[in-house]
Structure 1
């Protein structure tokens, strides 16, 4: 009798698991959060000892931290001329430059800022039951910082209910290119990740991105964004190959998403335009 009950419970659990799509599982886990609430033990013994550290030691650590932040994330504008490279009208506008052009430090300082608006849209395909759309907007008021918004709408057909489960994923970021060479840029983003639909929760986001311009109107780009919502991971990874034709470009790529425990793998196909 006990074996029959166990078998029934196993069949019931399997049925529930099969009736839940990846999208619905992601939303459920983001709403429930992590069961690990952390240990709030009594660790106040060493704090009194640290209060007696010398001011010199504190100053050293402050200088080290500032140095890592300045040279690792911002750059040395006194000695790195590439940081003054101006934003190009669009990649390969002169058949050589990528996102930035080497116009010389003084020319870049004396010239006006070059505003650019990058618009990109991609169709994402995993299988006949799982697909998505990814809209990316990037506002570049000058070469120093930019604002980027990503909107992904993920759709999955639920095989058990024949309904379509939806998940909306947003990224709102401030971006900075630490390296601005004529054929290569590398930078970071910082901002917020937001999941809509039944979740309606946000979390802190940090990312890295790069693009290499290889000539012949071709470029390769990669980006990663890491975030957590309700103690659950929400990560996005992108890899794209682009072909540029004046202000337009076409792309083929790959995207990997991790939203709570489920993972999503997509082939991406799309294009975009650069506007001034």
Structure 2
């Protein structure tokens, strides 16, 4: 009986170990699989469309009105109204806490000092740790030519080591970003762009995301961000939470990152830093 239980335990350990050791390979294999469940279009009868033409006049006016309302609502939610929202005119600081108790933005009408150039280049790098067999690195570059829009690129490099082999996976995000809220100690915005996985996958996907950062009074800030994407109808998502300690134009950070790459998911503790140029 003891031998039987021992054998079962050994087989479970070997099975779970083999599964965990092949997570990166499983992600790449699933992203390369094509969905065979294709839906064929169903032909519909054209007879139903003949009766709707008689009421086209009033219906088109109503649809046009609803369309304008929808566009206005979406525009207010994503871009804002520059005529009534003063915070949208706030300018970039040279780096967080360059002006005391200010983060990324300041009001030029009430603040005499600050960087009026509004050009900034942020670079950060983080070490990702899961266990002795799985770890990685996250490099991010963010270019802000002015306070309205920015361009951001993320590069994840994941490594997995097995007893007699190793595997790696490279994940990229390329996004255009916009901060919808630009207060002196808080900013909230969205990103839109593309994701890409290299190695044996070599496929692009559509990407969108959201991010926010809150700045405390004592050179400490908290950041949260999310990026959602699909490649070959499989999820490729990235979520991060981190705390930053700022010192002049650089910072150190600790946090947590979660990645969904097809079915497998990955959790990492992070340690890193960055600089504002």
TM-score (norm 1): 0.87
Residue of structure 2 in register with 1:30 after alignment: 31
1:80 to 85, 97, 102: 85
Note closer, same or farther for the CA distance 1:126–1:94 as it changes in structure 2 (3 Å cut).
same
Residue of structure 1 in register with 2:70 after alignment: 65
Q: In structure 2, what is the Cα distance between the partners aligned to 1:96 and 1:15?
A: 50
Shift of 1:57: 1.5
Note closer, same or farther for the CA distance 1:47–1:246 as it changes in structure 2 (3 Å cut).
farther
Shift of 1:224: 0.4
Say whether residues 1:147 and 2:151 are aligned partners. Answer: yes
Residue of structure 2 in register with 1:262 after alignment: 264
CA contact (8 A) 1:23 1:167 kept: yes
CA contact (8 A) 1:125 1:268 kept: yes
Shift of 1:43: 4.6
Say whether residues 1:238 and 2:244 are aligned partners. Answer: no
Question: Number of residue pairs matched?
Answer: 259
CA contact (8 A) 2:135 2:160 kept: yes
Residue of structure 2 in register with 1:3 after alignment: none
Q: In structure 1, what is the Cα distance between the partners aligned to 2:20 and 2:93?
A: 51
Residue of structure 2 in register with 1:220 after alignment: 222
Shift of 1:114: 1.3
Q: Superposition pairs for residues 4-153 of structure 1, below 5 Å?
A: 18=19, 21-43=22-44, 53=56, 54-104=59-109, 113-153=117-157
Note closer, same or farther for the CA distance 1:49–1:97 as it changes in structure 2 (3 Å cut).
farther
Q: In structure 2, what is the Cα distance between the partners aligned to 1:224 and 1:256?
A: 9
Note closer, same or farther for the CA distance 1:96–1:31 as it changes in structure 2 (3 Å cut).
same
CA contact (8 A) 2:91 2:116 kept: no
Unaligned 5+ residue runs, structure 1? 1-10
Q: Superposition pairs for residues 198-217 of structure 1, below 5 Å?
A: 198-217=200-219
Deviations 1:215-255 (A, max 9, x none): 10000000000000001110000101000000010000100
CA contact (8 A) 1:237 1:257 kept: yes
Q: CA RMSD in A?
A: 2.6
Residue of structure 2 in register with 1:272 after alignment: 274
Q: In structure 1, what is the Cα distance between the partners aligned to 2:125 and 2:50?
A: 55
Deviations 1:93-121 (A, max 9, x none): 122110101122999xxx95410000000
TM-score (norm 2): 0.87
Using CA pairs below 8 Å that are at least 6 residues apart, which structure has the higher relative contact order?
Answer: 1
Q: Secondary structure at the match of 1:127?
A: coil
